[in-house]
Amino acid sequence: MSSSSTPSNITWHEGQVSRDERAQLLKHKPGLTIWFTGLSASGKSTIASALEQHLLHRGINAYRLDGDNIRFGLNKNLGFSPEDRTENIRRIAEVSKLFADSAAIAITSFISPYRSDRDSARQLHKEAGIPFVEVFADLPVEVAEQRDPKGLYKKARAGEIKDFTGISAPYEAPETPEVHIRTDQNTIAEAVGQIVAYLEASNIL
């Protein structure tokens, strides 16, 4: 895992286009990050995909960053130890901030089990003046285990997967997420509607 310290021989280079100016030129509001968190099989990736499609059909630039997909490339050198999970989230927080800075809506879908890591992602955006919307895809672990579309819970119970969130590794639920969705009680369309309603009410969409 690489060090998070900044080398002394590099300097941040400011561009000539501000976030607000970029948004005006692209004819929509400045970007933001919508951060989905929840157990495996909670439905967060499905809802994130539907939200991305909804926003794009409204002419809003949005791009989804999925936890599994990112591990095929950017984070393929990381495992699932607590340290690697933290580094996984640190990297995606930086990437989502870059997307949001470009006036896009970054939609991240990561289990992101540790509250401190999500708080760090939020703080990173706050320091850059970029909105950060945490969406908690919530359901009981028993229901997630019943769904188990990838067979991961079954493997975790059999000891084939170590450090599996909700079984052999902890999940720290958000305390005050901007949007809290009970995914075992709401349809995908209802979940998307709940998120969009929050964004519109907050005047960030």
Among candidates 27, 36, 14, 57, which has minimal Cα distance to 133? Answer: 36
CA-based radius of gyration for the chain: 17
- What is the full DSSP assignment across 59-75? T--EEEEEHHHHTTTTT
First-to-last alpha carbon distance for the chain, in angstroms, is: 36
**Candidates 112, 116, 168, 202; catalytic one:** 112
How many distinct helices (H) and strands (E) make up the chain?
Answer: 8, 5
Cβ within 8 Å of residue 147, ≥6 positions away: 41
Q: Return the C-alpha torsion angle 80, 67, 106, 119, nearest 10.
A: -30
Is 5 a catalytic site residue?
A: no
Q: In angstroms, rounded to a whole number, what is the distance separating the alpha carbons of residues 194 and 172?
A: 23
Q: Catalytic positions, please?
A: 112
